[in-house]
Amino acid sequence: MQAQSPNTVTSTARCQHRTAAGRQCRSLASDPSSQLCPHHAATAREQDFREVLTRDAFDFQRPQGVNNSLGALYNLLAEGRISPRRASVLAHISSLLLRTLPAIDYDNEHYTYDDDEPDAETEEQAVAESAASPAPQPVAPGKEPLPKTAEEFAAAGLNRKPN
Ligand SMILES: [Zn+2]
């Protein structure tokens, strides 16, 4: 610890941020309310924004969560606490997140990823086949068995002769 002369900046005028080791930031505090330098004041605000914007966001996995986050973003912008530029980028990301949700729902409804073999049957085909043949049959009458791999499926399609 070095001795402080009367001319050195007093510790209260300095940024009150301290490192994990307890060392005080050397920059001047610019904001009297937070007693932080511009850099650490901005860092503190960003952490605050993140908490506010993700509090009710449900990890952005539900439309209601994205809606909640956008509402919080609106309030931050209306209060002048976040820059329009940053708010604009966050709103755009929210829009992208929202747009992927229906695609994820569609995937979850139509595909199962835990099966070893790809399930090529649509639900309608499965329903029609089960109605037509009550006894379980691996292949419906008059139908070729489905190829095991995507490559075989593509090759079968290309080599198919016109009826
Ligand atoms: Zn600082």
The Å distance, Cα 46 to ligand 1 centre, comes to: 14
- CA torsion sign for 66, 70, 72, 76 is positive
pLDDT in tens, 118-151: 555 555 555 555 555 454 445 545 555 555 666 5
Q: CA distances (Å), 56 to each of 66, 67, 80, 127, in order?
A: 8, 9, 21, 40
- The whole-model pTM stands at 0.51
The Å distance, Cα 33 to ligand 1 centre, comes to: 14
69 burial via Cβ count (<10 Å: 0-12, 13-18, 19+): buried
The Å distance, Cα 42 to ligand 1 centre, comes to: 10
pLDDT in tens, 35-51: 999 999 988 888 789 99
φ, ψ dihedrals at 97, nearest 5°: -60, -45
- pLDDT: which is higher, 160 or 107: 107
Q: Evaluate if residue 71 carries a pLDDT over 90.
A: yes
Domains of the chain: which residue ranges?
Answer: 7-39, 48-112
The pLDDT value given to residue 5: 45
Averaged pLDDT for residues 69-94:
94
The Å distance, Cα 27 to ligand 1 centre, comes to: 5
DSSP label of 80: T
The pLDDT value given to residue 94: 97
pLDDT band at 82 (very low <50, low <70, confident <90, very high): confident
The Å distance, Cα 4 to ligand 1 centre, comes to: 19
DSSP label of 130: H
The Å distance, Cα 147 to ligand 1 centre, comes to: 65
